[in-house]
Amino acid sequence: MRVAVISDIHGNLPALEAVLEEINQAEADQIVVAGDVLPGPMPHETLEYLRNVNIPIQFIQGNGDREILAQMAGVETGAIPERFREGVRWVAEQLQPADEQWLASWHKTLQLQINGLGKVLFCHATPQNDIDIFTRLTPEDHLLPIFEGLDVALVVCGHTHMQFDLIVGNIRVVNTGSVGMPYAEPGAYWLLLERDVEFRHTRYDLEQAAERVRQTKHPQAEDFAANNILKPPSEAEALEAFTRAQV
């Protein structure tokens, strides 16, 4: 079984389209979306695109998706920084009751048996929750309490938008990177799982994607186009910020 894993799409439909084209070319048997389809500049369009994927697909709910659900329920959680709240409110306004029901039905975690890799656990941030932050620089002794006792060979997560490959105790932990908001070279990042973990980077037409985003009515459309598509933060910048906030 070949499993494609994508995460942190954040409403970047052009990036998702490019990745799905490569996933089809790779003849994946299944797709796992490891959270944070939302928020972002093309929310309803992204959900509709995912609904029509012709490969079996399963979803994990990320903290971003959860915050949109809270907003749709009229709840201000306080977890979103002030500068992003207008965008979250806008995204919630674009969605329909059917979207809300679908988002609410997504898994918190998911397990699959993959030949050659064994039992694989998929989560958004960590197996315990969707908000913990860790990176490739996090000391192993900080991570052991999070991953000890899991009866799996591999954990696949997203959340921090940077690919990595770690060993924590006797468990391999990998990060998918981000389809829609990478902290690295521009493009879209994802994984292909079969007998091993293949780290993938999909290039797409960034200028065209940025223009499509600018054509939306998302309140931070210009910022998203400039700083998440055309020139995203570097891994070094993200590592510095996350190191201050990690578990």
**SS3 letters across 58-71:** EEECCHHHHHHHHH
The span from the CA of 207 to the CA of 221, in Å, is 14
Q: What angle do CA 99, 36, 233 make, to 5 degrees?
A: 140
pLDDT digits (tens, 9 = 90+) for 86-108: 999 999 999 999 999 999 999 99
Q: What mean pLDDT do residues 158-167 have?
A: 98
Res. 216 pLDDT band, cuts 50 70 90: very high
Domain-wise residue ranges, the chain: 3-243
Find, among 79, 135, 155, the residue nearest to 247 by Cα: 135
Q: For the residues 133-159, what does the mean pLDDT come to?
A: 96
pLDDT of residue 153: 97
Peptide bond into 233 cis (omega under 30): no
pLDDT (0 to 100) of residue 81: 80
Helix (H) / strand (E) element for 244: namely none
Look at 17-21, 138-142, 241-245 and tell me which has the smallest mean pLDDT: 241-245
pTM over 0.75, yes/no:
yes
* Mean pLDDT estimate for the chain: 96
Q: In what order do the strands lie in the sheet with 164-168?
A: 110-114, 118-122, 154-157, 171-175, 164-168
Q: What is the pLDDT of residues 55-64, one digit of tens each?
A: 999 999 999 9
State which fold the 3-243 domain adopts. Purple Acid Phosphatase; chain A, domain 2 (3.60.21)
Question: What is the percentage of the chain residues whose pLDDT exceeds 90?
Answer: 92
